Structure 1
Amino acid sequence: MNLQNRRDSIKENGFTIVNSIFSEEEIEKISEVIQNIDTSKETFRKSEDLFAIRQFLKEVPGVQDLIFNEKMKTMIREIFGDRYFVVKSIYFDKPETSNWYVAYHQDLTISVDQKKPLEGFGPWTTKQNQFAVQPPLEDLENIYTIRIHLDDTDENNGALKVIPGSQTKGIYRPETIDWTTETEAICPVESGGIMIMKPLILHGSNRTTNGKRRRVIHIEFSDRELPDGLNWAEKIVIAN
């Protein structure tokens, strides 16, 4: 894979889309593992319009080898660098009846193992013993996110919409978007494809209009350790 153009796109636009990372058979195997898990744990959230698993790779260890196939490992190594590791993973299933609208936002928090007063870290949130905090800007700028799509996703069933280039502008409040200078891009991804993005890119999604399911595995990566005994809640090193 020639990945220089992917690196350039992420640097300039804040995202890139790569289809055919997983075969149809691989997607079926991943889906099968997810279907067979115990959903009673507190890291699982289930409602009529959303099913989510936090710390997905920890909670569903059988899925790791399926997700980190050779294509994925090459993408991570060549685009991010060989020192990057997983720091957060979430599985989202928005079923056919779900009609969520997600307003433009940046992903500004990281998941950590404890609440600890540290300069440059804050505000903090705690949900079900899960600690999240907004770290210094340079830590956010260092993170990459991969979104693995288990279903075809387009503008009709909640594909992400982004503002290209917004990841270079620091903390960017959605209410200050100047639509005379900014443009919006819709990011369709095929089943088996991935979207790589920087968490600081402004992104959101529209309501679904075609009643089709959209399942996404969201994984964040960093190559930095946190200061003063603070640790990532979910650090997973990917075997080569």
Structure 2
Amino acid sequence: MSVDVDFEAGGFALIESVVDPEELKALAPVMLREGAVGGSRCLLDRPEIAALATTLQAHRVLRSLIPEDHVAVQCTYFEKSSDRNWLVALHLDLSIPVARRVEAPMLRGWSDKEGTVFVQPPPQVLEQLIAVRLHLDACGVEDGPLRVVPGSHRLGVLSPEAAAAVRADRGESTCLAAAGDALVMRPLALHASSKSTGTSRRRVLHVVFGPPRLPFGLAWAATRLPASAEA
């Protein structure tokens, strides 16, 4: 697979063996500490997660896909199993975590999640983001894997009706992975996942990288950004 071509054309790419599975075991206590559950969005302030983000950005393949000046701005933990099962309808990732609310006509969809302010910025901001989904467990067809619509990241923000039409036209790619693999994707790529139908556990750390500075007077919510990025 030509990673660069596939990523630019499709909006996603699977990178194998990014982190050794044995090293992933050290992250298990982090997932259980301080109430982290499937769906926790604000893990980047934990030292182990901040160190992992640095490791991901330095990886020989990932560093060619993540712009050099980008910083880690969010880490979300997802856990799907027979006991904690859920599906995700076809959607785009439109919200980003910011330090405070700013009044500007281009900003919408304000919300508060886990004590952090989220907002939906214009597509020009979202187009710059890169998400790295690190698989802590193997993810097979029975584990509710992510399904991505190839090339949809180039279509901007779509209505639900338009998104469904694009999926019908282009189809979906099912993203299976081994433990330690990373799925790199553009947040504006249409994606969905079904409920798990097996008995395994699917845990993912979803790390988002973005430009150090935001427009409209916004600032990232992450507490461990470099001083130059907080201005």
Q: Deviations over 1:5-63 (max 9, x none)?
A: 3222121001000111111211112224434x232xxxx4x5xxxx33322120x2134
Q: Deviations over 1:109-133 (max 9, x none)?
A: 1111111111311121123432111
2:8 corresponds to 1:11: yes
Stretch of structure 1 that moved more, 74-83 or 112-121 = 74-83
2:123 corresponds to 1:137: yes
Match of 2:176 in 1: 188
Question: Structure 1's 228 and 120: CA in aligned 2 closer, same or farther, altered over 3 A?
Answer: closer
2:90 corresponds to 1:104: yes
Quote how far apart the aligned CAs of 1:95 are. Answer: 3.1
C-alpha distance in 2 between matches for 1:201 and 1:180: 15
Match of 2:196 in 1: 208
TM-score, scaled relative to structure 2: 0.88
Q: Which one-letter code corresponds to 2:31 in the other structure?
A: I
| Aligned 1:87-236 pairs, distance under 5 A | 87-176=73-162, 177-178=164-165, 179-234=167-222, 236=224
Question: Structure 1's 25 and 106: CA in aligned 2 closer, same or farther, altered over 3 A?
Answer: same
Of 34, 41, 51, 1:54 maps to 41
C-alpha distance in 2 between matches for 1:226 and 1:70: 22
Of 25, 30, 49, 1:28 maps to 25
C-alpha distance in 2 between matches for 1:133 and 1:155: 33
Match of 1:38 in 2: 34
Q: Which one-letter code corresponds to 1:54 in the other structure?
A: R
Q: Which sections of structure 1, spanning at least 5 residues, go unmatched?
A: none
> Pairwise CA RMSD of aligned residues?
2.2
C-alpha distance in 2 between matches for 1:29 and 1:171: 38
Question: Structure 1's 28 and 222: CA in aligned 2 closer, same or farther, altered over 3 A?
Answer: same
Stretch of structure 1 that moved more, 104-113 or 63-72 = 63-72
Native 8 Å contact 1:86 1:235 kept in 2: no
Q: Deviations over 1:169-217 (max 9, x none)?
A: 0112232222552211100011110000000011010111112111100
C-alpha distance in 1 between matches for 2:51 and 2:114: 28
Q: Which sections of structure 2, spanning at least 5 residues, go unmatched?
A: 227-231
Paired positions, count:
224
